[in-house]
Amino acid sequence: MRIIVNGNEQQITAHTSISALLETANIDPEQVVTELNGLIIAPEHYEETHLNNGDTIELIQFVGGG
């Protein structure tokens, strides 16, 4: 199925969880804000939240420094 990740179309397998998506993209789940169809998903729900065809997901990764 197809989803939009940070504005780019991406092909993923059905029932992919947010956790799996982050792992594939090599993103530390502790350093990201995940917005799924405009709603922020709490990190404790990454494992159980599965993506659907046509979903729009924004992954906002933080880097250290301040």
Partner 1 sequence: MSKQLIQICINERTLTVASGTLLRELQQLQCPDADLLIVNGYPCPVDQILADQDRIVMIRRGVAPEPQELEALMMARHTPGVHTKVKGARVGIAGAGGLGSAIAIALARTGIGFIKIADFDVVEPSNLNRQQYFIDQIGLPKVHALRANLQRINPLVTVDVYHGKITAQNMKDLFADVDILVEAFDAADQKAMLANTFLPTFPEKYLVAASGMAGYEPGNSIRTQKINEHFYLCGDNLTSAGPGCGLMAPRVGIAAHHQANAVLRLILGEDPATEG
Q: Which residues bind partner 1 (CB under 8 A)?
A: 28, 30-33, 35, 38, 40, 42-43, 58, 60-66
Residue whose C-alpha is closest to residue 27's, from 51, 65, 58: 58
Q: Are strands 39-41 and 32-36 parallel, antiparallel or unpaired?
A: antiparallel
Q: Which is nearer to partner 1, 23 or 35 (CB)?
A: 35
User: Under a CB-based contact definition with an 8 Å cutoff, are residues 15 and 38 in contact?
Assistant: no
Q: Which is nearer to partner 1, 35 or 55 (CB)?
A: 35
Least separation in angstroms between CB 49 and partner 1: 14
Helix (H/G/I), strand (E/B), else coil: 56: strand
Least separation in angstroms between CB 24 and partner 1: 19
